[in-house]
């Protein structure tokens, strides 16, 4: 059992976000969903009556919780999820999927998806690659990581 589970706060669209992530990551699944009650809610909760409150799901074997709430909190780059990719094809796949439909490219292998969640899409051997002469300078010029360019091939 996973001891620490990231809880992700979404602005009323947690179910949409979970389905987006499940469409990208292989073997992902919804574990369980809890729902807001239909009565006895606080004023700010009334629009959520009967809708999903928390969706427990997995991506690549890691458990997450998507919380369906309001716009009080936003994602920022202080927290990101790293995807260790086996090759350039896998980097391209995740990068393209996560930046599609309103996602944003950043620098050095970082991007945001359309919900504002930050991701790092890196080769699984990034530490070894970064020991190569000139790799750091090349990385600083990249958005999506190009393994061959980093290695100077």
Q: What is the largest CA-CA distance in the chain?
A: 63
Ranges of each domain in the chain? 7-69, 80-151
* pLDDT 10s digits, 14-54: 999 999 999 999 999 999 999 999 988 888 788 889 999 99
What's the CA gap between 28 and 44, in Å, rounded? 31
User: What is the CATH T-level fold of the domain 80-151, as seen in this structure?
Assistant: 2,3-Dihydroxybiphenyl 1,2-Dioxygenase; domain 1 (3.10.180)
pLDDT at 136: 92
Does residue 90 register a pLDDT over 70? yes
Is the domain spanning 7-69 CATH 3.30.70.120? The answer is no
Using alpha carbons only, what angle is made at residue 57 by residues 21 and 7, rounded to the nearest 5 degrees? Answer: 90
Asked whether the beta carbons of 21 and 28 are under 8 A apart, the reply is yes
Q: Alpha helices of 45-144 — where are they, by DSSP H? A: 88-99, 126-129, 135-140
pLDDT at 89: 98
Asked whether the beta carbons of 25 and 60 are under 8 A apart, the reply is yes
Does residue 153 register a pLDDT over 80? no
């Amino acid at each position: 059992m996973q001891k620490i589970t990231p809880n992700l706060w979404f602005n009323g669209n947690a179910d949409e976000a979970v389905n987006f992530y499940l469409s990208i990551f292989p073997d992902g699944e919804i574990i369980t969903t809890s729902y807001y009650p239909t009565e006895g809610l606080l004023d700010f909760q009334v629009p959520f009556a009967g809708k999903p409150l928390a969706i427990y799901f997995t991506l690549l074997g890691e458990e997450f919780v998507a919380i369906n709430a309001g716009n009080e909190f936003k994602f920022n780059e202080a927290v990101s999820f790293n995807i260790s990719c086996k090759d350039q094809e896998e980097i391209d796949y995740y990068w393209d999927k996560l930046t599609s439909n309103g996602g944003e490219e950043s620098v050095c292998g970082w991007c945001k998806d359309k919900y504002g969640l930050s991701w790092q899409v890196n080769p699984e051997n990034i530490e070894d690659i970064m020991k190569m002469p000139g790799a750091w300078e090349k990385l600083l010029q990249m958005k999506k990581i190009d393994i061959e360019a980093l290695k100077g091939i």
